Amino acid sequence: MKYYSTNGKADRATLQEAVVKGLAGDKGLFMPEVIKHLPDAVFEEIQDLSFQEIAYRVADAFFGEDVPADTLKQIVCDTLNFDCPVVKVTDRIYSLELFHGPTLAFKDVGARFMARLLGYFIRQEGDRQVNVLVATSGDTGSAVANGFLGVEGIHVYVLYPKGKVSAIQECQFTTLGQNITALEIDGVFDDCQALVKNAFMDEELNRHMKLTSANSINVARFLPQAFYYFYAYAQMKKLGKADQLVVCVPSGNFGNITAGLFGKVMGLPIKRFIAANNANDIFYNYLQTGNYNPRPSVQTIANAMDVGDPSNFARIYDLYKGSHEAIAAEISGTTYTDRQIAETVKDCDEKNGYLLDPHGACGFRAMEEGLREGEYGVFLETAHPAKFQSTVEHIIGRPVSIPEKLAAFMKGEKKSIPMSKDFADFKAFLMKE
């Protein structure tokens, strides 16, 4: 399968090129040339298949031409060593819990898959070590570091701003050791990102070591997110509640929801989608007006959705050939203030005994407000509430229990290398690696 760029000015890439490059030469996002429809038989028996079996069929449609079947099966099984159950919140609203992976957020799925696929390509080429550089404001670093942990032939450097990530987030990438190095940058997130960008552009450094990114726009991180939409459908079908299924996705960069839209193109019978925004309502406004006006993000309590120019908008636009009408027919939008998010966490906890995280709360609220007669809803619970411990505790007025997995990270020994935000220092460090 070849991948084209949403900007239309770059050569078509192979899967391997698209995964290693991340972004196309013309700065566009890679799109698969064909999105294959799954055989009808799959949907007939889907309720009886395991998560891994379902995911393999979806993975085969995307990657089967480029990766041998045994390898792909192995990658899928290794990636999905945890469940993504749908859990009842009200009679008609279910939570798709995507927080049972190693870092308790949905990004684990894509990060784990990408690490394994990249590892396969490196072994194929007998290539020298590949070095992944990732700048993080918190969550991406932990998903990528844990996804790549122990994968042979790959070393990961996580750059994070000193004092700007939460203690829980920090220990998820500074306590791992092995092939993960954490660099604590004396600056803000933008400085970390600038260091990474400069590194990719520095010829001497690129001769010295092979560098790549693990950005969320990478096709190997983005496409595997389709897996759990199919699995959610299967679980709802088993319950007899899949006929008029509405799926709501708390959205920031819009990668997650785009993977769901791809699922629908592959034949997944989802009636419609809702994109839930926090106060960063760029997509919401696009749906209302047809005008896409990116602007600087504002900080909210659902901070993984604080995005002012969602990168995957380009993919949605491309998928629907630029038709605002087609996009608005498939997706509706909502936007919530911090006050509304907090109120939803509190209400849902009190009324339904289900503790939401601030991101999932946007999804749940959109369902409560937007579900029509006869419809059933699944919203994506994108992270465990304990990842936002202080925010959630402040809202509900009692302690949140910390899952064992998260507590284990906090017991580890923090190891990171302090570094200035000066590129010369960063480069000198890498030249010695």
- Residue whose C-alpha is closest to residue 378's, from 253, 255, 237, 252: 237
Tell me which stretch binds ligand PLP (CB under 6 A): 38-46, 252-260, 335-343, 363-371: 252-260
Binder among 139, 191, 281, 318 for ligand PLP (CB under 6 A): 139
Distance CA 391, CA 396 (A): 9
- Residue whose C-alpha is closest to residue 138's, from 161, 106, 112: 161
Q: Does 331 bind ligand PLP (CB under 6 A)?
A: no
Report strand pairing: 130-135 vs 154-161: parallel
Distance CA 207, CA 75 (A): 30
Q: Does 252 bind ligand PLP (CB under 6 A)?
A: yes
Binder among 22, 250, 363, 385 for ligand PLP (CB under 6 A): 250
Q: Does 253 bind ligand PLP (CB under 6 A)?
A: yes
The 3-state secondary structure of 364-404, one letter per residue: HHHHHHHCCCCCEEEEEECECHHHHHHHHHHHHCCCCCCCH
Distance CA 1, CA 78 (A): 23
- Cα 182 to the center of its chain, rounded Å: 21
Minimum CB distance to ligand PLP, residue 277 (Å): 10
- Residue whose C-alpha is closest to residue 153's, from 186, 123, 196: 123
Binder among 305, 367, 392, 419 for ligand PLP (CB under 6 A): 305
Q: For residues 119 and 141, which CB has a smaller minimum distance to ligand PLP in the complex?
A: 141
Minimum CB distance to ligand PLP, residue 107 (Å): 6
Distance CA 81, CA 160 (A): 28
- Cα 394 to the center of its chain, rounded Å: 26
Minimum CB distance to ligand PLP, residue 240 (Å): 29
User: How many residues contact ligand PLP, by CB under 6 A?
Assistant: 15
Q: Does 251 bind ligand PLP (CB under 6 A)?
A: yes
Q: Does 254 bind ligand PLP (CB under 6 A)?
A: yes
Q: For residues 199 and 301, which CB has a smaller minimum distance to ligand PLP in the complex?
A: 301
Residues with catalytic roles: 107
Q: For residues 107 and 264, which CB has a smaller minimum distance to ligand PLP in the complex?
A: 107
- Residue whose C-alpha is closest to residue 314's, from 384, 241, 255: 255
* Near ligand PLP in 69-108, by CB under 6 A: 105, 107
* Near ligand PLP in 335-394, by CB under 6 A: 359, 382-383
The residue type of 111 is A
Tell me which stretch binds ligand PLP (CB under 6 A): 246-254, 364-372, 393-401, 414-422: 246-254
Interface ranges with ligand PLP (CB under 6 A): 105, 107, 139, 250-256, 304-305, 359, 382-383
